């Protein structure tokens, strides 16, 4: 806050003299700031990959105490094995902190990287594509690898995954007279069971009104968001319009609803409070359900196929991102190799319930967690969520429009989103 006082003295000389010393001070500080900001000179390629004893910092956004504890344990185990100290730093706002660190040329040695951030950082040459040379590169699920590929290179190793599946309240299912033969395999059956499960005070199906849920219907109808080469947005295709029209028909028949209409913030409380019998959600719901709604018994099922028989779902994943500016590049890559071993991935899964990203662990997972097997199997036909660099505003607009799907035309929603996202893709191509 500053007081505005009218300048009474008009003589420029006096004004200039008055401002001379502060301006000089500013100039000095500006020069010092500029001088102190050049990045450290990079080492030659061969010596850079040799691990040294410098400590490694891992920066991540935690889903809770279980994940922080698991990462801490992994860091300690690595230190025991190699003697390289690991600082595990949970971040309150990973996007912001990472941006700040990159701007200051001091990024952490290792961090969680989501597919959209990869698309934003990779073109700037900020990341080191170590994953090409990992020994177990062929073991990762292809759908996960595709989310982390830029310019034909795999930049980082997927650490885990979460897919969308159908979670059904067992008591409501039985009460409606449905059996295990009735789990929906296609859209017609989905609408039929949703109708049967809709009673007074309870809808059949609930999910978030955002593209990170409703896109599953687009893929099931045989449509997609981007074309095969990833250069054009194809949201306004006929298949996509068919998909959203189907969702709209369920909304209009009041056998499906969005959480806000039921005064819930999310689909998970809607299931917990028995305002719905089925939700489309992911493995993260299990933690919340066991904490807040332990008495609700539910089961996991794959999402139904579309009219053409195509199965589709979304997969959400993060990878271990490594920046180019790294004072222990070799040590960091050794740490990532340690973190992507089957033993370490098993420890992560047991600690906070994520799905492993290595295909060889699928039989172990299905035998240890048989009830969650559909979640892992969905990786075979899962597509990554929309991850175009700079798409936050366009996606927010798309989600806002989807919230009105019950009353707006699917064609207009999709063409508006098409225009906005294509503009973002074009902007990325020209490097704007």
Partner 1 sequence: MFVVPQAQRGARLLRPRPGEGWRDQLAGWLFCLPALALVVLFLVIPIGLAAWVSVSNWDGIGSPLAAGVHWIGFANYKATLTEPGLAQQLFGESIRNTFYYVLFVVPIQTFLALILAVVVSRKGLVARSFFRTAYYFPSITSSVAIAVVFSFLFSGTGTINAVLSFIGVHGPNWFTDPSGLIQDLLGAVGVRNGPAVLVNHGLLGISWWQWLAGPSVAMSALIMLAIWTTSGTYMLIFLPALYNISAEVEEAAQVDGASSWRQFWKITVPLVRPTMFLVLTLGLIGTWQVFDSIWIITAGNPEGTTLSPAFLAYQTSFSDQQWGQGAAIAFLLFGLIIVVVLLARWWLWSREFTGGRRTLRGLRGATLAGGVGVVGGAAAARARAAAGSDGDARQ
Instruction: Count residues binding partner 1 (CB under 8 A).
Output: 53
**Nearest CA among 218, 248, 264, 221 for reference residue 417:** 218
Q: Is 208 one of the binding residues for partner 1 (CB under 8 A)?
A: no
Q: Is 292 one of the binding residues for partner 1 (CB under 8 A)?
A: no
CB of 5 or CB of 80, closer to partner 1: 5
CB of 121 or CB of 365, closer to partner 1: 121
Q: Is 114 exposed, middle or buried (0-12, 13-18, 19+ CB in 10 A)?
A: buried
Which H/E stretch holds residue 86? strand 86-91
Q: Is 33 one of the binding residues for partner 1 (CB under 8 A)?
A: yes
Q: Is 406 one of the binding residues for partner 1 (CB under 8 A)?
A: no
CB-CB contact of 328 with 109 (8 Å): yes
Of 145-153, 190-198, 285-293, 393-401, which segment contacts partner 1 by CB under 8 A? 393-401
Applying the rule CB under 8 A, the residues between 39 and 58 that interact with partner 1 are 39
CB-CB contact of 306 with 218 (8 Å): no
Least Cβ distance, residue 297 to partner 1 (angstroms): 25
Name the one residue in this structure whose structure tokens are 């000089």.
Answer: 24
Q: Is 238 one of the binding residues for partner 1 (CB under 8 A)?
A: no
Of 33-41, 78-86, 131-139, 214-222, which segment contacts partner 1 by CB under 8 A? 33-41
Q: In whole angstroms, give the CA distance from residue 243 to residue 220.
A: 8
Q: Is 227 one of the binding residues for partner 1 (CB under 8 A)?
A: no
Question: Residue 58: what are its φ and ψ, rounded to 5°?
Answer: -110, 120
- Interacting residue with partner 1 among 7, 181, 228, 343 (CB under 8 A): 7
Per-residue x/- track, 111-150, partner 1 (CB under 8 A): ---------xx--xxx------------------------
CB-CB contact of 87 with 115 (8 Å): no
* C-beta neighbour count of 23 within 10 angstroms: 11
Q: In whole angstroms, give the CA distance from residue 281 to residue 428.
A: 31
CB of 125 or CB of 201, closer to partner 1: 125
- Interacting residue with partner 1 among 52, 65, 105, 188 (CB under 8 A): 105
**Nearest CA among 173, 193, 192, 159 for reference residue 67:** 159
| Both structure tokens of 56 | 């490694």
CB-CB contact of 185 with 304 (8 Å): yes
Q: Is 165 exposed, middle or buried (0-12, 13-18, 19+ CB in 10 A)?
A: buried
Q: Is 38 one of the binding residues for partner 1 (CB under 8 A)?
A: yes
Of 48-56, 98-106, 302-310, 376-384, which segment contacts partner 1 by CB under 8 A? 98-106
Q: Are strands 86-91 and 56-61 parallel, antiparallel or unpaired?
A: parallel
Q: Is 17 one of the binding residues for partner 1 (CB under 8 A)?
A: yes
Least Cβ distance, residue 337 to partner 1 (angstroms): 26
Q: CA 76: distance to chain centroid?
A: 27
206: left (phi over 0), alpha (psi -120 to 50) or beta: beta
- Interacting residue with partner 1 among 394, 413, 414, 425 (CB under 8 A): 394
Q: Is 423 one of the binding residues for partner 1 (CB under 8 A)?
A: yes
Applying the rule CB under 8 A, the residues between 239 and 278 that interact with partner 1 are 260-261, 263, 265
Residues within the interface to partner 1 (CB under 8 A): 1-3, 5, 7-9, 14, 17-18, 21-22, 25-26, 29-30, 33-34, 37-39, 95-96, 99, 102-103, 105, 120-121, 124-126, 260-261, 263, 265, 389-394, 396-397, 399-401, 403-404, 420, 423-424, 432
């Amino acid at each position: 806050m500053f007081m505005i006082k009218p300048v009474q003295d008009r003589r420029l000389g006096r004004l200039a003299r008055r401002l001379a010393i502060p301006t000089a001070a500013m100039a000095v500080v500006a020069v010092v700031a500029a001088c102190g900001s050049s990045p450290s000179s990079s080492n030659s390629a061969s010596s850079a990959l040799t691990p040294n004893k410098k400590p490694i910092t891992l920066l991540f956004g935690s889903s809770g105490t279980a994940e922080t504890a698991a990462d801490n344990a992994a860091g300690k185990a690595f230190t025991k094995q190699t003697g390289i100290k690991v600082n595990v730093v949970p971040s309150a706002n990973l996007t912001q902190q990472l941006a700040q660190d990159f701007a200051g040329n001091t990024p952490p040695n290792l961090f969680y990287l989501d597919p959209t951030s990869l698309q934003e950082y990779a073109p700037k040459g900020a990341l080191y594509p170590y994953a090409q040379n990992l020994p177990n590169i062929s073991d990762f699920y292809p759908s996960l690898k595709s989310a982390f590929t830029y310019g034909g290179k795999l930049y980082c190793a997927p650490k885990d995954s979460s897919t969308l599946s159908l979670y059904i309240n067992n008591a409501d299912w039985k009460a409606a007279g449905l059996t295990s033969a009735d789990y929906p395999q296609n859209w017609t059956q989905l609408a039929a069971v949703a109708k049967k499960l809709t009673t007074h005070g309870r809808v059949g199906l609930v999910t978030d009104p955002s593209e990170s849920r409703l896109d599953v219907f687009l893929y099931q109808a045989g449509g997609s968001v981007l074309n095969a080469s990833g250069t054009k947005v194809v949201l306004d295709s006929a298949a996509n319009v068919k998909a959203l029209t189907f969702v709209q028909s369920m909304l209009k028949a009041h056998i499906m609803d969005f959480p806000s209409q039921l005064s819930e913030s999310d689909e998970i409380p809607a299931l917990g409070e028995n305002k719905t019998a089925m939700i489309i959600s992911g493995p993260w719901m299990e933690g919340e359900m066991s904490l807040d709604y332990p008495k609700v018994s539910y089961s996991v099922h794959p999402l139904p196929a579309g009219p053409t028989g195509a199965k589709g779902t979304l997969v959400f994943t993060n990878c271990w991102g490594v920046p180019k500016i790294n004072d222990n590049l070799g040590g960091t890559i050794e740490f990532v190799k340690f973190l992507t071993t089957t033993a370490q991935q098993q420890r992560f899964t047991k600690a906070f319930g994520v799905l492993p990203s290595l295909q060889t662990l699928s039989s172990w997972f299905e035998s240890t967690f048989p009830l969650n097997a559909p979640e892992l199997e969905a990786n075979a036909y899962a597509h990554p969520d929309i991850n175009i660099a700079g798409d936050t505003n366009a996606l927010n607009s798309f989600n806002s429009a989807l919230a009105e799907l019950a009353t707006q035309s699917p064609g207009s929603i999709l063409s508006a989103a098409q225009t906005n996202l294509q503009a973002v893709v074009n902007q990325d191509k020209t490097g704007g």
